[in-house]
Structure 1
Amino acid sequence: MQAKEIPVSKSDLLRADLQESLSHSHIDPAQITTFQRIILTTDGTLTEILEAYLYEKIQLVKLSQEIVASAQEIKALDLNIGTNIMNRKVLLQGKISRRNWIYAESVIVPARLDEIYRERLLKSQEPIGRLWLEHRVETFKEIIDSKRELAGELSDYFLIKSEDKLLSRTYRVFSKGQPIMMITEKFPESYFIDK
């Protein structure tokens, strides 16, 4: 007896929120590589995923980090104007190749973090995902946006042209039932082409 083939639509393959995020940004999941799709749609720790794919240890390069009072409401984090936030910009870089694989911007609510985790985040050179594992921080991630955009000034980090395209995702991270940070990760569309 032969198994009956069941038709599958694209919308059956991704969670509804991910499908909406990708279609809002006009990114067709069928038109990007498998690994690009994994980066844009999974809620796993990106550092670990990159290391498994690249077979290379990933290190963090901090570009900037500052604690400031929010100049505007941040609805995704349920924050009012004037709340202290940490703005952080980093690169995830291959430890051996020294190649920059990901550029990430984070908006973090320090008051919502455990003290030890907050101190490690401020002072260490470890990616956020590794610190979650080290401190056993229970998290839930919700992808809220995906984009295809021009590289612009970020092109220098990836040694590409400013008119080349980047793919990105933005997600909220919840812990203990409240949003603790919002992270945007970007990488060149020319990266992670299936082997």
Structure 2
Amino acid sequence: MTHRIRTRPQRRQDFAGADLVKRLLLVTDGTVTPMLEQIVGERLVTDRLTQTKTSADEEEARRLGIPTGSAILVRSTDLAGRDSGRVFAHTKALVALDVLPARVRDGLLETAEPIGRLLRENRVETFRQTLPDQTCEYADADAARRQYVIYLNNSPGFLIEEHFLEACFVPRS
């Protein structure tokens, strides 16, 4: 007797017209910071970090999949080269603070480390789900941008938007 496993077909975005670097940045389901560091040839740091601890309004709660009024952190930053100061990406994250392990929550609130680096350094197991056909805050139609949810213990912890600037795709000298 043959058993067939039914799976829902995933909608895939078509990036066939994009160059290889852009395609890799858009489809990876892991932290992008180490890959981007290799692409641009230098360590990345956060720049122009702004973050606000607040309660999720209805829209934020819906987008993150948490109850309205839950404690969240709204975090915006640029990823820039440590040595050059060149900005390579703009990011925005909605963070469900109650879902995070204390050491990650403290790291977000007390340091400027990129989220992926904090998760990796604290050995937090995650699952990332890229959201297709979503409107990002950075709405340049030709930009390399993606939006995804990071789950911790099967609960949504982060909703992240990343907008990769042209500097990522220009050959370094």
Q: Decide: shared fold, TM above 0.5.
A: yes
Could you tell me the TM-score, scaled by structure 1's length? 0.74
Find the partner of 2:64 among 62, 77, 86: 77
The question of 1:41 aligning with 2:18 is answered no
| Contact 1:148–1:165 (8 Å) recurs in 2 | no
The question of 1:140 aligning with 2:117 is answered no
2:151 is paired with a residue whose SS is strand
Residue 4 (structure 1) aligns with: none
Find the partner of 2:158 among 181, 188, 195: 181
Deviation at 1:51, TM superposition (A): 1.1
Matches of residues 147-162 of structure 1 in structure 2 within 5 Å? none
| Contact 2:15–2:23 (8 Å) recurs in 1 | yes
Larger of the two Rg values belongs to structure: 1
Q: Distance in 2 between matches of 1:105 and 1:176?
A: 22
**Structure 1, residues 88-118: CA drift from partner, whole Å, max 9, x if none?**
0011001111110010000001111111211
Gap runs ≥5 in structure 2: 1-8
| Contact 2:78–2:91 (8 Å) recurs in 1 | yes
The question of 1:32 aligning with 2:32 is answered no
Q: Distance in 2 between matches of 1:112 and 1:104?
A: 20
The question of 1:130 aligning with 2:114 is answered no
The question of 1:89 aligning with 2:76 is answered yes
Gap runs ≥5 in structure 1: 1-15, 23-27, 153-162
Could you tell me the TM-score, scaled by structure 2's length? 0.83
Write the letter of the residue equivalent to 1:166: A
**Structure 1, residues 102-151: CA drift from partner, whole Å, max 9, x if none?**
10000001111111211011111211111111100100000013569896
| Contact 2:138–2:163 (8 Å) recurs in 1 | no
1:96 is paired with a residue whose SS is coil
Write the letter of the residue equivalent to 2:150: V
Deviation at 1:194, TM superposition (A): 6.8
Deviation at 1:76, TM superposition (A): 4.2
Deviation at 1:188, TM superposition (A): 3.1
Q: Distance in 1 between matches of 2:137 and 2:95?
A: 25
Q: CA RMSD in A?
A: 2.5
Write the letter of the residue equivalent to 1:117: V
| Contact 1:146–1:169 (8 Å) recurs in 2 | no
Q: Distance in 2 between matches of 1:164 and 1:170?
A: 14
2:26 is paired with a residue whose SS is helix
Q: Between Structure 1 and Structure 2, which shows a larger proportion of helix residues?
A: 1
Write the letter of the residue equivalent to 2:155: Q
The question of 1:117 aligning with 2:94 is answered no
Residue 107 (structure 1) aligns with: 94
In structure 2, the CA distance between the partners of 1:99 and 1:148, relative to structure 1 (3 Å rule), is: farther
Identity %: 29
